[in-house]
Chain A
Amino acid sequence: EVQLVETGGGLIQPGGSLRLSCAASGFTVSSNYMNWVRQAPGKGLEWVSVIYSGGSTYYADSVKGRFTISRDNSKNTLYLQMNSLRAEDTAVYYCARGTSGGYVDYWGQGTLVTVSS
């Protein structure tokens, strides 16, 4: 059974850093397209970043240069390092398994990141 479990969310001050983790089971992270998608309170879904099976990474313009996606193959875990956090980064962050067809077939339960002083 495919499972994605995000951890690492919390309250952080503007300008701070946070690292989110997504532990996967039931499949191999390194063989799949892995995404982070976020949802601000009361707002819609926003794609944040993807790491392809070959290792290429892409970011939304809103986080480029501040966020870094990575994976640890030995732990079958996906990460999102978030630096220089802003109030507008406040959201539930979902780890999501993508496909070559561009859609997400499995989602984690999400972890809430709140950027506030």
Chain B
Amino acid sequence: QSALTQPASVSGSPGQSITISCTGTSSDVGGYNSVSWYQQHPGKAPKLMIYDVSNRPSGVFTRFSGSKSGNTASLTISGLQAEDEADYYCSSSTNSTTPVVFGGGTKLTVL
């Protein structure tokens, strides 16, 4: 099972909005409403930010939002803040023998 495709890096200035894409296939992203997004700061464990494409866990700010169109999911962060600088990973359920697949990760830099 190949990893989902994410851009290696994105950047934005404080207050701006950015979008991170996550492209898969009809066997994963396109076939399931089970896309999730994780934030990881250096040296820390990942943290769940979005689940089931667009749902936010309790405690995650509303400026984090998720969506999906076809085989591509997206994470949008509006009103960028310095503390948003981190690595972001998408994940999806799959219909292969490996039930979960992650994206390669995107490094977000807040300029």
Contact = CB atoms under 8 A, between A and B. Distances in A.
Interface of A: 35, 37, 44-47, 50, 58-61, 94, 98-99, 101-105, 107-110
Interface centre among B34, B51, B100, B101 (most CB of A within 10 A): B100
Given A44-B105, A47-B101, A50-B100, A102 B48 contact: no
B100 A102 contact: yes
A47 B66 CA distance: 22
Contacts of A59: 98
B47 interface: yes
* Consensus secondary structure, chain A interface: strand
Contact of A103 (B3, B34, B103): B34
Interface stretch (B12-20, B76-84, B87-95): B87-95
Contact of A104 (B1, B32, B48, B103): B48
Contacts of A99: 51
A27 to B, nearest CB: 15
Contact of B57 (A60, A98, A105): A105
Interface residues of B, number: 28
B48 A103 contact: yes
B98 A102 contact: no
Interface string B49-86: 00110000100000000000000000000000000000
A101 B45 contact: no
Contacts of B40: 45
14 contacts: A35-B100, A44-B89, A44-B104, A47-B100, A58-B97, A59-B98, A61-B1, A61-B97, A101-B36, A102-B36, A102-B99, A103-B36, A104-B48, A107-B47
Contacts of A46: 102
